[in-house]
Structure 1
Amino acid sequence: MPLVAPIMKVQACRQYGANILVRGSDIGECRTIALKMARQQGLVYINGYDHPHILAGQGTMGLEIVEQVPNIDAVVVPVGGGGLIAGVALAVKALYPHVQVIGVESENCASFSAALRTGAPVYTKPESTLADGLAVPMVGVNAFATAAPLVDKVVTVREEWIAIAILRLVEQEKAVVEGAGATALAAILAGELPELKGKRVVIPLCGGNIDTTVLGRCLERGLAADGRLVKFTVTVSDRPGGIAELTRLMASLGVSIKDMTHERAWIRSDIFSVEVKVMCETRDHEHYLQLQAELEKRYKIIRFAVPDIVHAESDL
């Protein structure tokens, strides 16, 4: 397993009796190390996303989908090495050719999209991503040959939407899903697949191995991208009542303060002012905009540190 593998995945495999070696910066380097070990020790190497038997096993999920869900219009599948979408596409298309099979990748590790552009698997250096299970630098050769003729479309999603998908699943479905498993839902929420509106769509939540600390970061990042966790810096009067006025304003708007710090030594305005850094919670994006408007009315120097907030899901 690579150095970036979640501790939960490593420990779970060890509990099943596996001998785990944590080496290599990504899955591609892991594969190279494993092949050398197989050659030196006379072992059999089984690629976890490209061995023909693995692809056949992945296809059983496609069979289960069509058996359990009638009248499907589309199946949206997370894509890393390509094994899952290859097996699912082969099974689904063989039985129901009209069903769309759509792949979704994180924009930080879009090796399948790169392969489609060039017509063959190519090396793409993956960047850090919440979908660590999809961070495969080069899509499998067998997987690509199987999936490419069958997959109708492949889209990529931003990391913010993966975090929001994890957050939505926890809040609305009470399901803990890792980044790789939530990527397909992220594409729907991000509005990357508007043609599926009103249709019967299957989204496999394939993966729940996420470290508790990473889950906490994902939830916070999702809240920030959702406009519900806001950080801003404002300059207020350092005279008695200056900060109290700020907190009263926030309280009157129903904003909850999570953290607040003061900066006096490095402030560039007059000595009777203090720079206050605030992290707070709002109900939604509209509530955040209300807070921003009221602060800008009363204070001259104010800076918001909030990621791009998009709301494609509200239009679905």
Structure 2
Amino acid sequence: MSIELTLAKIQEAQNAIHPYIHRTVLDHSSTLSALTGADIYLKMENLQKTGSFKARGAMNKILKLSEEEKKKGVLAASAGNHAQGVAMAASRSGIASTIVMPENAPLAKVSATEGYGAKVILSGAVFDDAYQKAVEIQQETGATFIHAFDDWEVMAGQGTIGLEIFEQLPQVDTVLVPIGGGGLIAGVGVALKSLKPDVRIIGVQAAGAASMLHALEVGKPELLARANTMADGIAVKKAGERTFATVQQVVDEIVTVEEEEISQAILMLMERTKTLAEGAGAVSVAAALHHKVDLTGQKAVLILSGGNIDVNFLAQIIERGLRRSGRAMVCQMLLPDQPGNLEKVLEIIAQERANIMSIEHARYDLAVPLRSARVYMTLETQSFEHQRRISKRLEEAGYPLV
């Protein structure tokens, strides 16, 4: 397949979309630099309009529609971020938009898409299922379908990020880019390789949805049996044909990250750099933190592709992160159902300077032995060593954890 994506087209896209999108900051992270032994910069597309880079490609595509196409409206399939980008771009252009989203799309992304003026239809489990439904609707209505990634104009819009990176940091050595269908890395790769051929372009995928890596291994895009990852923005079962052909030419390597690594990256970004990133947006950071790529001594840019994370899901990530790092402890014990026992337990916890975040005391649960009470607590602790000390004190006092 001939590659129709060029530096000139990306530069043309930059001129076209400039009035409608943010030129996002390239922020140096001393924290990540210290943790990785590299000079780390974050390209903050999580601060882009609509909360993700997708606004760039959608706007570039819609600006190029004919008047006749605009009358029929536009249609898209998306897990959430492309949906918002298309909805915003269509609204700014005064045209109707219909978006098909997976049934399990985060409620925040569904609501935001509707807030930009789009009609939302929920269908299927992942992006690829929603895409099939959108194709059916397109055949019925004649609306212009705006693909989330496998479109040259969309890729050109995403490639404007590469132009900005080079303008902001001409000395860049390596760029880590999240990959779902491949539109972002195709655009960024063409832009940067055209301007600086020796720059390394590293793609990052969730291990549970590594469709582009699989395509490179077998020589063509193939449908994965499933795409299972918390990073819903890159949960794509099949890489694009155009993006695959482009990735073959401009990407140096693709690595994968596990779910726990993504979760840790989200929490670290929030806690240490005061930055909110969704799962897809954090995979580049996860790859750097867990040394999937050797970045030692290099100037490396990590693209945070989006920040649209469901608040309830974020609460789960925070809780799990605290437990993994030894800063929260869940403990359960059986106490003799007599006055004073719970008081003694609480006194030990207070002496050890742990903080009770929640507590449940149950006497009537059928699983609890007669003349006993079950106590279930979540404690805020300082470290795993602190937790071991608390457990030992409780056991010595006759209140072993179960």
The question of whether the paired residues in 1 share the 8 Å contact of 2:391 and 2:401 is answered with: no
CA distance in 1, matches of 2:196, 2:136: 41
AA paired with 1:157? Answer: V
5+ unaligned residues in a row in structure 1: which ranges?
A: 304-316
Q: 1:263 to 1:136 in 2, by over 3 A?
A: same
Q: 1:58 to 1:297 in 2, by over 3 A?
A: farther
Equivalent residue for 2:106? Answer: 6
1:58-69 mapped onto 2 (5 Å cutoff)? 58-69=158-169
- Is 1:220 aligned to residue 319 of structure 2? yes
- Is 1:44 aligned to residue 144 of structure 2? yes
5+ unaligned residues in a row in structure 2: which ranges?
A: 1-100
TM value normalised by structure 1: 0.85
Per-residue CA deviations over 1:53-77 (Å, capped at 9, x if unaligned) read 1111111111111110232221111
The question of whether the paired residues in 1 share the 8 Å contact of 2:126 and 2:227 is answered with: no
Of stretches 239-248 and 81-90 in structure 1, the one that deviates more from structure 2 is: 239-248
Pick aligned residue for 2:218 from 113, 118, 127 = 118
Q: 1:301 to 1:253 in 2, by over 3 A?
A: closer
AA paired with 2:124? Answer: G
AA paired with 2:235? Answer: A
Equivalent residue for 2:328? Answer: 229
The question of whether the paired residues in 2 share the 8 Å contact of 1:108 and 1:129 is answered with: yes
The question of whether the paired residues in 2 share the 8 Å contact of 1:164 and 1:226 is answered with: no
CA distance in 1, matches of 2:256, 2:392: 34
Pick aligned residue for 1:150 from 222, 231, 250 = 250
CA distance in 2, matches of 1:244, 1:197: 53
Q: RMSD of aligned C-alpha atoms? A: 2.4
Per-residue CA deviations over 1:78-99 (Å, capped at 9, x if unaligned) read 1111111111122222222222
Equivalent residue for 1:206? Answer: 305
CA distance in 2, matches of 1:120, 1:299: 63
Of stretches 243-252 and 57-66 in structure 1, the one that deviates more from structure 2 is: 243-252
CA distance in 1, matches of 2:181, 2:396: 51
Equivalent residue for 2:347? Answer: 248
The question of whether the paired residues in 2 share the 8 Å contact of 1:167 and 1:223 is answered with: no
1:131-170 mapped onto 2 (5 Å cutoff)? 131-170=231-270
Q: 1:35 to 1:263 in 2, by over 3 A?
A: same
Q: 1:201 to 1:295 in 2, by over 3 A?
A: farther
The question of whether the paired residues in 2 share the 8 Å contact of 1:49 and 1:143 is answered with: yes
CA distance in 2, matches of 1:258, 1:11: 32
CA distance in 2, matches of 1:299, 1:122: 59
Shift of 1:300: 7.6
CA distance in 2, matches of 1:204, 1:241: 56
Q: 1:41 to 1:259 in 2, by over 3 A?
A: same
CA distance in 2, matches of 1:89, 1:294: 57
Shift of 1:138: 1.0
The question of whether the paired residues in 2 share the 8 Å contact of 1:160 and 1:222 is answered with: no
1:86-97 mapped onto 2 (5 Å cutoff)? 86-97=186-197
TM value normalised by structure 2: 0.68
Q: 1:267 to 1:133 in 2, by over 3 A?
A: same
CA distance in 2, matches of 1:157, 1:23: 28
Percent identity over the alignment is 39
Of stretches 12-21 and 141-150 in structure 1, the one that deviates more from structure 2 is: 12-21
Pick aligned residue for 1:282 from 371, 381, 387 = 381
Q: 1:250 to 1:301 in 2, by over 3 A?
A: closer
Equivalent residue for 2:361? Answer: 262
CA distance in 2, matches of 1:201, 1:243: 54
Q: 1:297 to 1:68 in 2, by over 3 A?
A: farther
The question of whether the paired residues in 2 share the 8 Å contact of 1:106 and 1:129 is answered with: yes
Shift of 1:218: 2.5
1:177-188 mapped onto 2 (5 Å cutoff)? 177-188=277-288
Secondary structure at the aligned position of 2:122 is classed as coil
Of stretches 28-37 and 41-50 in structure 1, the one that deviates more from structure 2 is: 41-50
